[in-house]
Structure formats: structure tokens, C-alpha cells
Amino acid sequence: MPLDRVAVFPASGGIGGSTVKHLLPRLPSENLTFIARHPEKLSDASSAGAKIRRADYDDDETLLHAFDGVDTLFLISYASVEHEHRSERHRVAIDFAIRSGVKHIFYGSLGYGGKPENKTSVAHVMQAHLDTEKYLEHLSRTNKDFGYTVVREGLYSESYPLYTAFFDLKNPVSEIKIPHDGSGPGIAWVKREELGEGTAELLKRFIKDPQSFPYLQKTVLLSGSRVVSLKESVDILGKVAKVPVKIHQVSEDEFAAQPQVKPNFLYHGVDHSKVWTTTFEAFRRGEAAYVSPLLGELLGREPEDFQTTVSNS
């Protein structure tokens, strides 16, 4: 049975927008549906012939028919670092999708946990992803007509502010205060645009031949090709900003108390600055330091390195 009617939701964010851009030349536009809270951001895709729909993770009414007529869905995660609410919104969207007839879901997870087959993480931000991965696995066991592929999108280079107390290249400081000394296992940084491109290529290959697609009911990781420690990452940021920058290791409470940190981790009135520090423990355990060759194979070239991406940002 062909599964050639493909949708992306949400389709106008960072990963979504890049995936849309790279799907359009790979698949017939009349088979593509792009769903976003702000559909006006998808005017280029609309002009190319794709269907555009409006839906919001937090509005069940909009999700009710958002996935009608769709066979294969790339579901990108709810944009926050929350756990329970995020997991619940993912489950709701998945349930609506299956009710609408979606037969296969590609889920955009996150690149913690180390090897893609690992099912645990100490990072708070990864918990909703793990819940969703388990839910998809459960659904595929109980519904023989439903399948999934989890795509753990590696930590993208452009997200470095989250791990450097919101270091700003245009207004650099000389000291970055984080609960980590910068040594040990690092991060296999990856350019966000290339994550979208790699995911689009995965979708194309699945649509072309779903029966022999090698990642049915599996988890894959799209990562960069080189691990860069936090110290090396900060050295690169200093080089690009043209100022010497060093890491000053502080306590979790000191990190969370910094005035530039709290506003960036406030969701539904709850401050997640303290629980965000679990990402640094995940780094110490090597959770972001696993290099997968898959992205390079999908791109047909070496993924862009951290310094090049940051320099061009």
C-alpha cells in the first residue's frame, strides 16, 4: 500500500522549515501537506503546490482534522523543555493522526541518550521524548497497520546559547558560568539546516520503498561527524567573537540564578532553569558524544563543522 501522502507538523519552525525546504524538491508537491500554527509562514511551500493547514499543539479542535488524508507524518516535538505537558500533547497529536488514517509516523526526537538504541537519559529535556518514543513503540505493537521511525535530531550548533548561559557573539562576555568544567565527553554538534535536509532524505527513501526501508520501528540518530568538548566549543565561540572566553564552573543554583538564564526557561509560568542543568550531567556521561555516520550518508557529504556554522550565524 503506498504511503506517499506526507505531512510535516509543526512545519514552520527551525527543523520543520528546513525539512519543508528540502522535501519540496524530493517529492511531488501535490502529495505534501504542511501544518503550522502560523500557516502564513509557509507561503513559499503553498506557491510550490503543497497543501497548507493550520493546527496548534495546544488546540485540540485544530488537531481534529489536521492529518486527514495523510499517510506518513513527520511529527516534530512540542517546543519547550517541559515534561508532562509536552508528553501529553505528543500523545494527543499522535492519537488524532492515527484516527485520521496516518499509517507511519517519523518522530523528531532529540540527540541525548548516546547510542540510538539506548532508552534512558538523565537530561530532563529528553524525558518527554523518551515517553513519546515508548508510546509509538506501544502503538506499533498493538496496531499491526501502524509503524514508526524515531529520528533523534542531534544537538544543533545554533543552540549553543542553551549550554553556555546564553553567550552572545555580538555582546560577548569573558566568562561563561555553567555547572560543568568543559572537559570530558562533548557534543557531536550538527547544523540545524542539515538535520532538516537529512530528515527530508529519510522521508523520501521511505516513500520510495517503504517495504525495504531499514528503519521501520527503529530509532536513528542524526549527528555531526566530530565530538567537540564544551571547552573547545567555548574556545571556538571566543575565536569567532574575537575575545578570550573561559568557563567558570558554578553550582546548579548559581547557574539558574543568572538574570539572563531564567527568562529563557520559563514555560507556563514555571522556571525550568534548575532542571535544565541535568543536560550538563548528560554531557558528563557522554550522552551527546555519540557519532552516527547516517547524516553524512544521507547528505552525500561531510556534515558542516561547529566552527563553520557558528561563524556564519
Q: The domain that contains 137 carries what CATH number?
A: 3.40.50.720
Q: Supply the CATH number for residue 271's domain.
A: 3.90.25
- Do β-strands 51-54 and 32-36 pair in parallel, antiparallel, or remain unpaired? parallel
Q: Is there a single domain that holds both residue 151 and residue 206?
A: yes
Taking the C-alpha atoms of residue 158 and residue 191, their distance in angstroms, rounded to an integer, is 7
C-alpha cell at 118: 539506548
Whole-angstrom distance, CA of residue 73 vs CA of residue 33: 9
pLDDT one-digit tens code per residue, 156-205: 999 999 999 999 999 999 999 999 999 999 999 999 999 999 999 999 99
Residues 263, 147, single domain; the answer is no
- What is the β-pairing status of strands 218-222 and 175-178? unpaired
Q: Is residue 295 part of a domain?
A: no
Residue 231 lies in domain: 158-186+227-289+304-311
| Whether the predicted pLDDT of 36 surpasses 90 | yes
Q: What Rg do the C-alpha atoms of the chain give, in angstroms?
A: 19
Residue 268 confidence class, pLDDT cut points 50, 70, 90: confident
Kindly state whether residues 89 and 181 are assigned to the same domain.
Answer: no
Nine-digit cell string for 254: 548559581
Q: What is the pLDDT of residues 256-266, one digit of tens each?
A: 999 999 999 99
C-alpha grid cell, residue 306: 561547529
Query: What total number of domains does the chain contain?
Result: 2
pTM, entire model: 0.97
> Has residue 3 got a pLDDT over 80?
no
| Residue among 33, 28, 38, 29 at smallest CA distance from 6 | 33
Determine the Cα–Cα distance for residues 137 and 33; give it in Å rounded to an integer: 25
Q: Above 90 in pLDDT, residue 313?
A: no
Cα–Cα distance for residue pair 123/137, rounded to 1 Å: 21
What letter would DSSP give residue 117?
T
